Each structure stands twice: as structure tokens, then as C-alpha cells.
Structure 1
Amino acid sequence: MPAYKNQHFVPRCLLKPFTLGADGKAINLYSHRQNKLIRNAPVKKQCARDYLYGEDGVIERELATIEDEYVAVINRAHARLDTDQDRNALRFFAYLQLRRTEMAILRLRASEEGLFAEVFGHEEPERQPQRFYMLRSLQTCFETSETLSDLKVRIVENRTSTDFVISDDPAIYTNKYATQKLRLAGFGTHSSGLMLIMPLAPRLALICYDGLVYTSPNLENGRMILKKAADVEAMNELQYLAASSNVYFSDWDAGDYVRGQFEKSADRRIEEAVVFNHLVFVEGDPQGREIFRRATREEAAVAGRSVIHQTFRYPTPSRWLSQLKYRDPVITHSNGTGVGHVRKHEWLYA
């Protein structure tokens, strides 16, 4: 096989702790599309496509450098020697992972093609190749990663008898505050209450969260310690909700349990990752703000002024980590517009 042909969207270094003997060669998986448990599947064939980042190998080599740094960080994390700099590196790595999967490409493509359809109707846009969207997604990652620098970073230790699992879309945005308090299905990178969660090993995970909305009062040496199986299941449910095709797990004897847990979560899986709403202008208020109302596409077509609002949807579990509490009071910034509640005041006008 030519060098760099087989390119992974979930790197082998992230899957390795879940492999047989943690040696990085074979891994157990549940394929929900086939409803099939597969034992000791070759890792080199998992979460990979030919020339996903291009045939010249440039991006693949750059990603390999980042992955090598990740391996050094995760080794220190296992030894409980991780530093603030290491944890910041893990936050970036999780955000990069969020942006580099096949599902990330599909979300971006659905966004652009869906918006075209909403504006131009049945006209077919010029379809871009998969690599185009991957490069766009990676570019977005590097341009916006600083936006997440305010999120608190915690390593999560699993001290239960239930292992963490990992999927083929393992880094996950979710938002308890938006879901529970604001009753919103959509949110974004600037939103108050944002969380970024990713498993690191059967006994370790990463959680990055808005420290102005949440607090974890029972840390041990800066780590969140899970002692209840229900908390591990809450973390795992996110993997079941996000998985494109496969969920990976370390202990073959847990296979039927993993399949059962996936099936319990199936009705919460998101069918449309991007939702579009048409809004038509109603009036201006004394403060100079413009008021719009939701409308049909047909109403928007004949309205004097209208806009299309796009919302990305992310997994919402049936339960949340008991270790993560709301602050009293929570701190958010809002001006009553469609920007919503954001973590920094200046973002209201960005």
C-alpha cells in the first residue's frame, strides 16, 4: 500500500487503549448498522478511508505530529503526571477530533447543501468532494480553537466495574444548560453551558465545560472521579448517540451489554444534524432591535425581508453526570437576540 493511503479519521492512538491487551492491533466492536458484534477486528481498518486528507500526505504527516504529542500527554495522564499544559493540549485534541470525522464532514455538507436548497429550491448545487469538506472542517478547527480556551478541563477517572466505550465519532458537543434550562435543541461553540466530552481509555475520559455554568465540587487532585455505574453509562450513552457505524469496547464479555445499551438509546439518536428555519421581519422595537417570527418557506419567499436560521443539533443523553452541578447563580451573557446565551459579553456583538 502506498505511504499515507490508509488515513484515519479516528487515530489509532485514540483507539489503542480500547484494543486487545492495549497493543493497538485488534479491537472488539458493535456495528449497529449490521446489528453485529465483531471480535478482534483489525484496528488498521477502523475509522479510515483512502486518501481522506489528500494524496500528498502533507496533512496526514501534520496530524501524525499532533498524535505523537497526544501519546506523550496521555501517558502522563495515566501516570497522574499531567500538567495544565497537557490538559489544554487534550482540549485541543478533542476539538480537532470533533472536526475530523466522517460525521463532521457530513454535518458540514448537510449545512451547505441544505442552505442552498432552502434558498434556491430544487436547483442542484455543484457537489464538492469529501476532501473539500474535510479541509474546510480542519481549517475551522485551527481558526476557532481559541474560542474553547475558557472551558475548564478535567480528566475523568472511572472507578466502577463498567468500562468506557468509544465510537467512530468520539468527541462530542453537548449542553445540559441549553437543554434543561433554555429548552433549546441547538447551540454552538460560543454558547453558555457547552461541554466537550471524549473517552480516552476504558478507565479515563476528558470533559471540558463552561465553568460559569457548571461546577464539580468533589474533585480529587483536580480530577472528576466516577464511582457510580450510572455516571459511566451517562458518558457512554453519548457514544451510542453519536456513533456513525461502530461502537468499540475492550472486554468481549461486555458485548451483549454494549448492544443492549445502544438499543436503549436508539430512539434518542439524531436524524437531522442541521435544521433550517425561515424567519420574516415583523417590526422594530424602541431599542432599535428588529423582531422576526418563524415562518414557512412560502411565507418567506413573498415577505419583504426574511432570513434563514441554521441550527446544528448534537446528542442529548437521557441522564447527565451527577458529578457536574449547576453553579448558583449561573453566569451567562444575553441581549435578547438570536445570538442566545454566550460565555463572553463581547461575543454578543461579534
Structure 2
Amino acid sequence: MGNITINQHYVPQFLLRNFGWKAKKGIFRINIFDTKNCSVRHNQNIAKVFSQNFFYDQDNSIEKFLSEIETPTSILFEQIINGNFKSLENEDNKSLIMVFISSLLQRTPSALEKANEFINTNLNQGIVRQLLSLNGYDPNEANNGYFEFPQLVSDITLEGVINSILIKDLSFQIIKNETNLEFCISDHPVFAYNWLYRDLDHPSVTGITAKGFQIFLPLSPSITLCLYDSHVYKYGQKNQLITHIDNVNDIAIMNSFQIINSYSIIGFNSITTESHLKQLYERNKKIQLYKHENTIFDYRETEEGQIRYKTLNFTRQTKLKKMPSFISIKRKAKIDNNSFSYRNPELINQYLAVNKLHKNNTF
């Protein structure tokens, strides 16, 4: 295969190394908690986990494109982990981090499964169901079919890069873990949630353009990076980039995010973390963060006997019980938590312009 990378990482090795240790020259290892069977695998070679053969492509075009994002991002993350936060004062650096996070949100097996489920919900609950009904068949048979689109991961990964435009207005917060309980990392490490709208029944609540959108990404056992809507939330102390946490309950909540988000595995450093992860898993294993739904509306029959209808595909988020104690909703924002609004319409216009250009040109 020449220089083609066969084993392609959906969570970059540079990020995983922060949660592992160097065993010998060129070899880094990490402990793995398997959420499918609640078991632990010790001393796993980072080069061989959080990856699949030809996950993105077979010609390495996506793999090489992602490496161009990962290489400079790894330098910035290393600076942050080492306590050098000046890089976050640079707008170009912040934009690069947002591109990385937005693409990471879309480039994992969990993201691929979510995209496939979203498409199948539309097909099975909408188009296929109607076709079966119109032809005299039981519409419930639509539930028996499931279509997979393996190459979809390349498309949604690139979509994630473009989507970074939509989170440019979010603020940064560094969470410094001062406890003996470490942060862990899952195989879908970017946890996104809207705490403001947790009680609101609206189809756009889960979107990254919604007011109240939040992101959590663990960078190491002691550092988590948060992106949040500063018009809605107060994170830590006012005008402070860093929040120091000495409450293990906060760390447990943030680790539960990784448990809930995981596709099948959690990476961690210390063996003492095993029992903690197993307990978290037992408490959170039944939580399904998102549920895809499809609604048919404007259903009518034309004079020519044709059926016309429109469908609405959307994703609901489950109502989580807690957020870490360093997060609070501002008083002014609480007034609007019963009515949906977009965070920044201007960014949406920028996105639409770029997306139109993307569709008219080869990426």
C-alpha cells in the first residue's frame, strides 16, 4: 500500500497520548474501559486503539487533510496543558481549535452512526412508510429496513470543518482539575449539550447554532476545554479564563459526559480510575443523549391524484439532571429559556455562503 495509512484514528493519537504514558521509544499506552461489556483492558498500544482500518477513505485524502489540522492543534493543546494560555489570546489560534473540535465532533463512529440513524429515520418513518402504505402494504414494515452509508463519514467530517464557522462566537474556559480523580476520554470525546433549553420541546434545540450551546473536550487527566455561549452562561469567576476545581462531584459529572457520549470505549491513565468508571457506567448506561424523530406535515392529494407532503427531521436531547457547579445560567438568559432563538444569525449567513461555495467546488 506504499505510504497509505490503513489504520486510521478517529480520535487523534496526540490527544490520546495525554491520557496515557510512554512505555518505550515511540510506544505510548493507555488503559481502556469497554462500555459494551463493562470490562477493562490494560496497557493498550495507542497506535492500535480508537481507530479502524480505512475508516475515512482508502486513498488517505481525508486522513492527510485532518493531519494538517491536527499538527498545529497538538502544539496549541500542549501549551494549554503546560499552563501557557497566551495562545488563546490569538484569534487565529482560537479559530484553529474550533475547526479541530468541530471536525472531531463529526469524525467518529458515534457521529457516523448518528448520521446513519438520522437518514434512516427519514427514510423509514417518512418516505418508505408512505410508499408502503400507498401500495397496500403494512407501513410498519418500514421499521425492518436499515441502510448504512459507510462513505458518509468523509462527508460529515468535512461538514464538521465547515461547521466551525457556526461556533466562532463561543467563549473559551479552561477547567483545571485539582482533585485526585482524573478526567477520562471517550471514543466520541466532544460532548455537546444545551443546558439552557433542557426543558424546551423544539426541533432546533440540539443544533450548534442554538442559544445556550456548550462543548466539553477533555485534553488531559487534569485539563478540560469548554466552549460556551457567554451571553447565557457564567463559567467560573467573571473575566477569568481558568476555573480550578477541587470538587470530585464536578469531575464525576464531566466524566459521566464521556460515558454517555461513548460509542464503545473510554480511555484513562490510572488503574485507580477503573472502579470510578464502572460506577459511572452503571448510573448512566441507560441514558440516550439524542433521539432522532421524523414528522410528516402538509399532507395532501393533488387534483392529479399525486401525494404531496413535507417532512421535518429533528433530534431531541434528553434532559440531564446536573451540570458541574461552576456553570450557572445568567438571570437575563433564564427569561428566554421557554422560547427558542438562534445564537448568532450573522454566523448562519456566513455558513450558508461558504456551504454554497463548497457545493459548487471541489473541497
1:1-350 matches, cutoff 5 A:
3-21=4-22, 25-82=28-85, 83=87, 84-85=89-90, 86-117=93-124, 118-121=126-129, 127=147, 129-130=149-150, 132-180=151-199, 182=200, 186-218=205-237, 221-270=240-289, 273-280=291-298, 306-314=309-317, 317-330=320-333, 340-345=340-345
**Uncovered stretches (5+) of structure 2, i.e. residues with no partner:** 130-140, 300-304, 353-363
Distance 1:332 1:208 in 2: 22
The DSSP-based 3-state class of the residue aligned with 2:263 is coil
In structure 2, the CA distance between the partners of 1:67 and 1:345, relative to structure 1 (3 Å rule), is closer
Shift of 1:277: 2.7
Q: Is the 8 A contact 1:159 1:225 kept in 2?
A: yes
Provide runs of 4+ in structure 1 moved above 6 Å. Answer: 123-126, 331-336, 347-350
What TM-score results when the alignment is normalised by the length of structure 2? Answer: 0.80
**1:251-282 CA deviation, whole Å, 9 max, x = no partner?**
01221221111111112234x6422233458x
Shift of 1:20: 2.9
Distance 2:145 2:76 in 1: 43
What TM-score results when the alignment is normalised by the length of structure 1? Answer: 0.82
**1:290-319 CA deviation, whole Å, 9 max, x = no partner?**
xxxxxxxxxxxx9x9753222224565431
Q: Is the 8 A contact 1:168 1:247 kept in 2?
A: yes
Shift of 1:197: 1.1
Which sits farther off after the overlay, 133-142 or 188-197?
Answer: 133-142
The DSSP-based 3-state class of the residue aligned with 1:330 is helix
Q: Is the 8 A contact 2:236 2:242 kept in 1?
A: no
**Uncovered stretches (5+) of structure 1, i.e. residues with no partner:** 282-301
In structure 2, the CA distance between the partners of 1:219 and 1:76, relative to structure 1 (3 Å rule), is farther
In structure 2, the CA distance between the partners of 1:144 and 1:176, relative to structure 1 (3 Å rule), is same
Distance 2:110 2:265 in 1: 12
Give the AA of the match of 1:223: I
Which sits farther off after the overlay, 119-128 or 304-313?
Answer: 119-128
* Aligned residue pair count: 324
Q: Is the 8 A contact 1:174 1:195 kept in 2?
A: yes
Q: Is the 8 A contact 1:160 1:227 kept in 2?
A: yes
Distance 1:58 1:346 in 2: 32
The DSSP-based 3-state class of the residue aligned with 2:100 is helix
Shift of 1:345: 4.7
Distance 1:188 1:170 in 2: 18
The DSSP-based 3-state class of the residue aligned with 1:319 is coil
Give the AA of the match of 1:120: V
Distance 2:332 2:309 in 1: 37
